[in-house]
Structure 1
Amino acid sequence: MSQLVDLNLSEKVAVITLQNGKVNAISHALLDELNAALDKVEEAGVVLVIKGQAGMFSAGYDLATMKESPEAAKKLVQRGSSLTLRLLAFPTPVIAACTGHAVAKGAFILLASDYRLGVDGDFKIGLNEVAIGMTMHHAGIELAKGRLAPVYFNRSVLCAEMYSPEHAVDAGFLDRIVPAEAMDVAIEQIVNFMSQLNMKAHHQTKLKARKPLLESLANAIELDA
């Protein structure tokens, strides 16, 4: 059985790489492995980096499951929303290394991370749910409302506008972009800075700063259920 998530754990950083096929589909199996990896990162108490494969961070939920039945789709989305909630309240800094396209749930993982580093290139980032006939779930709306630049909320959620990495910075999906060849060095620099933080102070401040969003997201997950 192939691994869908690779965990590389060292003294000051844990790198989780999503590796589920060409589009890094978010499936039940991937969520199982990802949550197990997050358990180990929490225990280690180190900075977390989540990255994708070259050219693809993630294109979102596994389509086979989403098309199986409304109940199957609902269950997968609920689990994905719980992951979002976990990342938003994660006890150590969460860095998303967006290695390419980030669509739907892939973009939501960016919105749930503390620092989002993207690779420059001909990539698309955004929430395409409305464009493909899906009504946005309450949890997705709350997360987008809490993390996107307000002027981009309607364009992203209601109009399913997709952005280049450069414009994704303006919208609030990314914090910074670098050329592909500079990605590894940039990640190392951010990790070095983040690892010097007092992790207890970081976590407590995160929970205070995000309290309204965490509460509204938890309520939205219940509403979606």
Structure 2
Amino acid sequence: MPGALNITGGEDRVVVELHRPEVRNAIDRRMVEELHLVCGDLEEKPQTLILIGSGGVFASGADIAELRQRRRDDALAGINSTLFARIAALPMPVIAALDGYALGGGAELAFAADFRIGTPRLTIGNPETGLGIMPAAGATWRLKELVGEPLAKEILLAGRILNAEEALEAKLITAIHAPEDLLQAAHALADRIGRQDPLAVRITKSVFHAPREAHPMIDQLAQAILFESEAKFDRMQRFLDRKKES
């Protein structure tokens, strides 16, 4: 059976294409398992992750045929929520490149990313309550943090679906690109990340997501580590050298 993902790697990034075009890249158990394997690799060798869908669709949601068969114990196992939490906690940034549908579980996967960019034909939201369930893989808390409580409630409780312009206005995505330019735009963002010091990026991401009560002590401890790194001395010296030359 073919895999649910197409994976290509580079020196500082991995591109993962969700590839179940026959069901608009709906997220099933097999895709979840394959994404866990990707996470394991990225935890061992930190790289930027680019997530994109095949066939002009990011992910239309969870696989409804599979979801309909799930019962209480499946919900308590947190099949999708455990994966999305793992993706959110990856050492290096995650970029979600969104085209077409990003609904339900597909939207929640996008919410777990650090960056979201889209195309003009993007449709994003959480229609789960219309199916008699709730979005239980991060939307009930991540979405409020991303767009604020009033809009999050419209999406979660009243079934509002956002188009690309609405998502951009709400800052749920940061840019809109033509579909044929979407992957290139994701790579351009990964290039910008790649020009930063990898250790500084990793530590900054960890500190950013630390609970409020951990600050400012965690900031000071993290900075203490970076103050001793060779990259700090090298990069600052290059900055001073350029300043002398200008």
TM-score range, shorter chain: 0.7 to 0.9
The one-letter code sitting in structure 1 at the alignment partner of 2:69 is: E
Does residue 84 of the first structure (1) align with residue 111 of the second (2)? no
Give the TM-score normalised by structure 1.
0.85
Number of matched pairs? 212
The match for 2:34 is 33
RMSD: 2.2
CA contact (8 A) 2:48 2:92 kept: yes
Larger Rg: 2
The one-letter code sitting in structure 1 at the alignment partner of 2:124 is: I
Shift of 1:56: 0.8
Question: CA distance change for structure 1 residues 111 and 118 in 2, over 3 Å: closer, same or farther?
Answer: same
Whole-angstrom distance in 2 between the partners of 1:60 and 1:167 = 20
Whole-angstrom distance in 2 between the partners of 1:206 and 1:138 = 21
Shift of 1:200: 2.4
Shift of 1:190: 0.8
3-state DSSP of counterpart to 1:176: coil
The one-letter code sitting in structure 1 at the alignment partner of 2:163 is: S
CA contact (8 A) 1:91 1:199 kept: no
The match for 2:181 is 182
Shift of 1:181: 2.5
Shift of 1:184: 3.0
Deviations along 1:28-48, one digit per CA (max 9) or x if unpaired, are 111111111222233332211
Question: CA distance change for structure 1 residues 5 and 31 in 2, over 3 Å: closer, same or farther?
Answer: same
Whole-angstrom distance in 2 between the partners of 1:61 and 1:154 = 21
Does residue 62 of the first structure (1) align with residue 53 of the second (2)? no
CA contact (8 A) 2:8 2:14 kept: yes
Deviations along 1:3-31, one digit per CA (max 9) or x if unpaired, are 10111011121000110233211111111
Question: CA distance change for structure 1 residues 136 and 19 in 2, over 3 Å: closer, same or farther?
Answer: closer
Shift of 1:188: 2.2
CA contact (8 A) 2:26 2:63 kept: yes
Deviations along 1:105-132, one digit per CA (max 9) or x if unpaired, are 11111111111111112x4211111222
The one-letter code sitting in structure 1 at the alignment partner of 2:157 is: L
Whole-angstrom distance in 2 between the partners of 1:98 and 1:126 = 12
Question: CA distance change for structure 1 residues 107 and 172 in 2, over 3 Å: closer, same or farther?
Answer: farther
Where in structure 2 are there 5+ consecutive unaligned residues?
213-246
CA contact (8 A) 2:105 2:135 kept: no
CA contact (8 A) 1:149 1:172 kept: no
Give the TM-score normalised by structure 2.
0.78
The match for 1:134 is 133
CA contact (8 A) 2:58 2:106 kept: yes
Does residue 204 of the first structure (1) align with residue 176 of the second (2)? no
Shift of 1:208: 2.2
Question: CA distance change for structure 1 residues 2 and 138 in 2, over 3 Å: closer, same or farther?
Answer: closer
The one-letter code sitting in structure 2 at the alignment partner of 1:174 is: I
Does residue 164 of the first structure (1) align with residue 194 of the second (2)? no
Q: Which has the higher contact order (CA 8 A, sep 6+)?
A: 1
The match for 2:19 is 19
Shift of 1:139: 4.1
Where in structure 1 are there 5+ consecutive unaligned residues?
214-225
Question: CA distance change for structure 1 residues 135 and 188 in 2, over 3 Å: closer, same or farther?
Answer: closer
Shift of 1:203: 2.4
**Which has the higher mean CA deviation after the structures are superposed, 61-70 or 159-168?**
61-70
